[in-house]
Amino acid sequence: MRNFPVAKSRRLRSTPYTDRIEAHGVSSYTVYNHMLLPASFKSLESDYHHLKKFVQVWDVAAERQVQISGKDSAKLVQLMTCRDLSMSKVGKCYYAPIIDDDGLLVNDPIINKLAEDKWWLSIADSDVIFFAKGLAAGNKFDVQISEPNVNILAVQGPLADDLMSKLFGDEIRQLKFFNFNYYEFKGHKYFIARSGWSKQGGFEVYVDDDLAGQNLYDSLFEAGKEFDVKPGCPNLIERIEGALLSYGNDFDNRDNPFEANFNKYISLDTDVNYLGKAKLKIINEEGISRKLRGVKIDHNKIDMYCEKTLFDDNKNIVGYVRSAAYSPTFKKVVGIAMINKPYWNMKDQFRIEIDEKIHLGTVCDLPFV
């Protein structure tokens, strides 16, 4: 795949950390929520091996927050997601698919409950803020909706606790998965969650002050020398192996949450009120004809810029690969694919064309084991 430079502009927003990651050797960008998101540093594979062994600091400011507050905020947030939030608690994070009136996916944010009447939807790559504003205006809800100046730094990898406790004290080791709390460093209080877009463990620091964020960035690298800390970013190989789905890559507004395997986040039998509930009940009764599955391909390289078709021996369509990368662990290309129902447990190999040659592969479970 040839390289094409990204043409920078104000529209593709920089972050408070952009100067630092460029000095640290970022080697490619993607664009996410109208913002620059680093996609690689040394190389995908080198970043991958380091992430699985040490600790990295990530500029994931592109994970923007949609802040919803006010009297009707809980009602609006519940209306947007098929996950039952009626028992939700302040200080906790909820992975929650957002769906529209047709039962189709709009986003898959982590919803942070800051107060009974204040929420942050930490979003994937679509403008959830306008969905929320449309719904609020249409329903005449008493809410305030904004995108606060919050720029997340993630600290990810098996040594994340060791690094973070050097700055924030040992109490941060007690923070449970998908919980958040406030921790002080050099006079600034940071909102920190145990979460992140890798399966290697770690934290996300929701920084609400640019200077405090830059200071934290520098301090993490200073304190992290003993742990071989490096700059990093959500890693394509690692996130596919761990089946961390990506809106726009693995699923989008033409897919429903059953097709994306979100079943455990779909509440059909409670009396919570959300958009598309009637539609989801119908889909649930009728069943789905395709869903996301893993694929392994006997090859050492793949470039993805649109979905690739999988065929069986009789040239019937098995499904479509949507994300894929070579995995040094499995010594194969691993991918996430929308697979047609007859092939969900396919025993035979499928065929896929890569660089004008046919390669063979198999359908498997997600995450990869």
87, 138, 313, 358: which one binds its own copies (CB under 8 A)? 138
Calpha distance 177→198 (Å, rounded): 13
Token duo for residue 64: 């923007």
68, 85, 93, 128: which one binds its own copies (CB under 8 A)? 128
Calpha distance 346→280 (Å, rounded): 27
Token duo for residue 104: 């189709």
**Residue 135 binds to its own copies (criterion: CB under 8 A):** yes
CB of residue 125 to its own copies, shortest distance in Å? 6
**Residue 13 binds to its own copies (criterion: CB under 8 A):** yes
| Stretch touching its own copies by CB under 8 A, among 112-120, 133-141, 205-213, 279-287 | 133-141
Asked whether 301 and 326 are in contact (CB, 8 A), the reply is: yes
31, 223, 268, 272: which one binds its own copies (CB under 8 A)? 31
Reduce the DSSP state of residue 327 to 3 states and report it. strand
192 or 280: whose CB is closer to its own copies?
A: 280
Binding mask 106-125 for its own copies (x = CB under 8 A): x------------------x
**Residue 242 binds to its own copies (criterion: CB under 8 A):** no
Strand partners, 116: none
**Residue 152 binds to its own copies (criterion: CB under 8 A):** no
Give me the sheet containing 93-95, strands edge to edge. Answer: 93-95, 110-115, 118-122, 65-69, 144-146
Residues contacting its own copies: total by CB under 8 A: 58
Calpha distance 365→296 (Å, rounded): 10
46, 89, 90, 101: which one binds its own copies (CB under 8 A)? 101
Q: Looking at this protein, which amino acid is placed at residue 252?
A: D
CB of residue 98 to its own copies, shortest distance in Å? 9
CB of residue 107 to its own copies, shortest distance in Å? 9
- In sequence order, the 6+-apart residues with CB closer than 8 A to the CB of 260 are 97, 105, 108, 245, 250, 251, 291, 292
Place of tokens 């098929």: 82
Residues that bind its own copies (CB under 8 A): 1-14, 18, 22, 26-31, 34, 39-40, 100-101, 106, 125-139, 147, 236, 246-249, 253, 275, 303-307, 322-323
